Structure 1
Amino acid sequence: MIVISLFISSLIALSFYNFYYKRRNFPPGPTPLPIFGNLIAIHLSGAGELAFKKWAKEFGPIYTYWIGELPVICVADYEQMAQIFQKDAENYANRYIFPIQRGINGRQD
Structure 2
Amino acid sequence: MILLTNMMSLLVTDIRTSIITLTIGYIVYKLAKFYYLRSKLPPGPHPVPLMGNLLLFKSKDHWDVVFRQLAKKYGPVFTFWFGTTPQLIITDTEMAREAFRKNDMAGRPESYFGAILSNEKYKDVAFTDYGHTWEALRRVSHSALQYVLN
TM-score, with length taken from structure 1: 0.78
Output the CA distance in 2 between the equivalents of 1:55 and 1:74. Answer: 10
CA contact (8 A) 1:15 1:34 kept: no
1:53 to 49, 52, 68: 68
Q: How far apart in 2 are the matches of 1:103 and 1:26?
A: 32
- Give the secondary structure class of the aligned counterpart of 1:71: strand
User: After TM superposition, where is structure 1 displaced by more than 4 Å over at least 4 residues in a row?
Assistant: none
1:10-53 per-position Cα deviation (integer Å, ceiling 9, x unaligned): 223322322x1121221111111111111122x22322222211
In the alignment, structure 1 residue 71 sits paired with structure 2 residue 71: no
Q: Normalization by structure 2: what TM-score?
A: 0.59
1:8 matched to 2:24? The reply is: yes
| Higher RCO (C-alpha 8 Å, min separation 6) | 1
Q: Identity percentage over the alignment?
A: 30
Aligned residues: CA RMSD: 2.3
Shift of 1:82: 1.2
Equivalents in 1 of 2:106, 2:25: separation in Å? Answer: 41
Q: CA deviation at 1:66?
A: 0.7
Question: Normalized per residue, which structure has more helix?
Answer: 2
Q: What whole-Å deviation, never above 9, does each CA across 1:74-96 have from its counterpart, x for those lacking one?
A: 0001111112222x1x2233323
User: What are the ranges of 5 or more consecutive residues in structure 2 without an aligned counterpart?
Assistant: 1-15, 134-150
Letter in 2 for 1:75: I
Gaps of 5+ in 1: none
